[in-house]
Amino acid sequence: MTSTVNNNMTNNTTATSSTANSNSSSASSAANAGLDQLAGNFNSFLTLLTTQLQNQDPLSPLDTNQFTQQLVEFASVQQQVDMNTNMQTLISLQQTGEASSAMQLLGASVTLNGSSSPLTSSTPATWNLNSAGPATGNVTITNSSGTTVFTGTTSLNTGNNTYTWSGTGNTGQAWPAGQYTIAVTASGASGQAVKVSSQVQGTVSGVDLSQSPPQLVVGGQDYAMSAVQSVNNSTLSSLGGLSTSLNSLNSALSTLNTIL
């Protein structure tokens, strides 16, 4: 099962990467074509301007202010095209960095913000519940169709709590393997509402590069890179160099935005 998922994801990743490269090349070609056309128009304008100045009537000279204004406008447009081209290059580099970072997480154990956890015949559905304070939580678990399969209560301590569900419903029914979603509302000793967030743990089995930013596949579900809360130490160390590169790219983008 794992081999099939990884092989399929590899094929999808390769195809998506090729599509992304093709789109990037097309955008670059279009920008270059636009710049070439602008340069041609600019040269034609200079030729026309020079010819008119050479053949102007001394008694009725041409309006040099108008020509100067047009010259400045042409130069401004050309500068904008150059900036747009540079921006596209920086964006492309940033997207490449994001894809590389996501690919580095393949096979890593991660904790993510999320409420959906897989239930298998050998492994219960498990969630980390982070509570803002001591509380009693009302738990509702639903299946992928939105049907409520279990309701109950649990005691929560301040900070991280682990909640597991074996797949048995309130009536004793054994629910099949699949994705199950938890929802928790909690209240403190005085009845005040207490905020509870849920996280799930799993192994990154694939990366979907067709999304922007790339999506991580964990337990059969897609998660944005921003959902990752923690990664094991070995993976973090391998990402150190990529993080530095991404920071440099972000700095370059900020500088270009300031210029624009």
Domain ranges in the chain? 2-104, 107-238
Q: What is the mean pLDDT of the chain?
A: 76
**Per-residue pLDDT tens for 228-256?**
888 875 544 444 445 555 566 566 666 65
Query: How far is C-alpha 229 from the geometric centre of its chain's CA atoms?
Result: 15
CA dihedral angle for residue 144, residue 146, residue 152, residue 155, rounded to 10 degrees: 70
Q: How confident is the model at residue 55 (pLDDT cuts 50, 70, 90)?
A: confident
CATH number, domain 107-238: 2.60.40.4070
What is the DSSP secondary-structure string of 115-156? SEEEE-SSS-EEEEEEESSSEEEEEEEE-TTS-EEEEEEEEE
Spatial separation of the C-alpha atoms in residues 36 and 45, rounded to whole Å = 14
Tell me if the pTM is above 0.85: no
| 112 or 29, greater pLDDT | 112
**Per-residue pLDDT tens for 180-203?**
999 999 999 999 999 999 999 888
The per-residue pLDDT for 226 is 81
